[in-house]
Structure formats: structure tokens, C-alpha cells
Amino acid sequence: MTGPLSRDGRKVVARNRKARHEYEVLDTWEAGLVLSGTEVKSIRAGAVAFRDAHARAESGELWLHSLHVAPYESASRWNHDETRPRKLLLHKDQIRRIAAKTEEKGLALVPLDLYFRRGRARITLGLCRGRKHRDKREELKRREMEREAQRAMKEAR
């Protein structure tokens, strides 16, 4: 899903579409990623899967777990481990605040999208609360109502 540059210089590589459906996003942060060379090449090719990916605070650092980055085909034996924990780069005070917020019951740090800005890999993390099944249905109904209202307004013009 490699797209053109957006207004703020982002080149979005992958988006976690399921996250916005499964979770209610309360807050977001942008973080850098510590990657190896083959991981960068694979991410630029769009070979990323967000299934079960989450971030966790461990001993004053933030780590991204279960983000699947496919092996780079041209790398031979020097390839990377596909689901290794990857360190996230944020300021210490941000990490402390995020860690304190994730201690609350029912909140998780979920990656929302992965992109390149000025040649550096960045990830948007969302502080999320899981949605119940009925909440998901209500959200779908609300969106459908908005679409119908937009259609009606468009036809009235």
C-alpha cells in the first residue's frame, strides 16, 4: 500500500485498518523505530502485517511486539527475524506518561500506521480501549446514517 507523499511529508507504507474497528483510539503518538537494513528494505516494499502487534513498556523503554516484517528476498542468510521485538524511539518523559496510561485497566498500545518521513521509519501508536460487539454495530450504524445523509444532501443539490 505504498502511496504518494501526503502534505506533511509522510509516505504511508501500511495501515492497521482493523485497529480502528476493534478499538476506540483515545490518544496517539508518533515514534521512531530501530530497524536493521533488511527490515527497512522489506518495509519499503510494503511487506508488513499488523496482526496481533502491540507495544509494551519494559524497564523505561517502549518495545513493539509481534509486528511481522517479511524477510527481504535478496538478503540471503543475513536476514532478520520476522517478529522480533523492535525498540521504539520516544523522549523519556513521553515513555513515562505512556507507561502510566497503559497501566490502567483495559488500555493497550496499538500500532495504527507505519510510514516514512524524511527517510526515517515512523509508527503511529494509539492508546486504545477495546470495543464491545454492540459498540462496533453502533459505530457501523452511525457511519451508514452519515453516508445516507451525505447522499440525500448531494441529491438535493
Whether the CB-CB separation of 11 and 2 falls below 8 Å is answered with yes
Q: Which residues contact 95 (CB under 8 A, 6 or more apart)?
A: 57, 60, 61, 62
pLDDT of residue 92: 93
pLDDT digits (tens, 9 = 90+) for 126-157: 999 888 777 778 888 888 999 999 999 888 88
pLDDT digits (tens, 9 = 90+) for 51-75: 889 999 998 899 999 999 888 877 6
The domains of the chain are located at 10-131
Whether the CB-CB separation of 27 and 127 falls below 8 Å is answered with yes
The CATH number of 10-131 is 2.40.280.10
CA distance 55 to 21: 18
Q: What is the mean pLDDT of residues 92-119?
A: 90
pLDDT digits (tens, 9 = 90+) for 8-34: 677 888 899 888 888 889 999 999 999
CA distance 29 to 124: 6
Query: DSSP state, 8?
Result: T
Whether the predicted model's global pTM rises above the 0.85 cut: no
